[in-house]
């Protein structure tokens, strides 16, 4: 068993805005999870993530705080706290914080792991993963 605290997580922010931050709680390389990876995303007011896809990973997003919309090419879905969103592997999706004053915070899980790789490559690392067994 492993217990990962917020203070242990690796933190990244989008290179164009500090209003889009991600914390990685675990993946195969960090803690030996075999079939998934998990993290926390925090988006500031008005932040939009354009359509994108994860070719080999399903993604589940569970909204903890805030309001926004998740969208595909054809449809938009309003979301708020305790909403779960599922994006199958290969399906384009995006999301936006529609609030003018609150953050949108959600957990994301990729299965199999790998959907988080663009974060490692394209975001700025602010803090290293520090978990020790």
Counted domains in the chain:
1
Asked, for residue 111, whether it belongs to a domain, the answer is yes
Asked, for residue 131, whether it belongs to a domain, the answer is no
| pLDDT for the residue numbered 37 | 96
Asked, for residue 4, whether it belongs to a domain, the answer is no
Asked, for residue 66, whether it belongs to a domain, the answer is yes
| pLDDT for the residue numbered 133 | 82
The answer to whether 13 touches 20, Cβ cutoff 8 Å, is yes
Host domain of residue 83: 10-126
Asked, for residue 3, whether it belongs to a domain, the answer is no
Asked, for residue 19, whether it belongs to a domain, the answer is yes
Evaluated on CA atoms 69, 98, 6, 133, the torsion sign reads: positive
Compute mean pLDDT per 10 residues along the chain, 133 residues long, and list them.
94 94 94 95 96 96 98 97 97 97 97 93 95 87
| pLDDT for the residue numbered 95 | 96
CATH of the domain at 107: 2.60.120.10
Asked, for residue 18, whether it belongs to a domain, the answer is yes
Asked, for residue 132, whether it belongs to a domain, the answer is no
- Phi/psi of residue 31, nearest 5 degrees: -135, 10
């Amino acid at each position: 068993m492993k217990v990962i605290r917020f203070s242990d997580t690796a933190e990244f922010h989008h290179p164009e805005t500090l209003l889009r931050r991600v914390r990685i709680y675990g993946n195969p390389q960090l803690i030996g999870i075999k079939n998934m990876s998990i993290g926390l995303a925090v988006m500031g007011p008005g932040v939009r993530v354009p359509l994108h896809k994860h070719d080999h990973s399903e993604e589940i997003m569970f909204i903890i705080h805030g309001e926004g919309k998740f969208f595909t090419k054809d449809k938009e879905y309003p979301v708020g706290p305790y909403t779960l969103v599922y994006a199958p592997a290969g399906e384009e999706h995006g999301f936006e914080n529609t609030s003018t004053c609150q953050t949108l915070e959600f957990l994301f899980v990729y299965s199999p792991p790998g959907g988080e790789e663009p974060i490692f490559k394209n975001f700025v690392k602010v803090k290293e993963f520090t978990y020790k067994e």
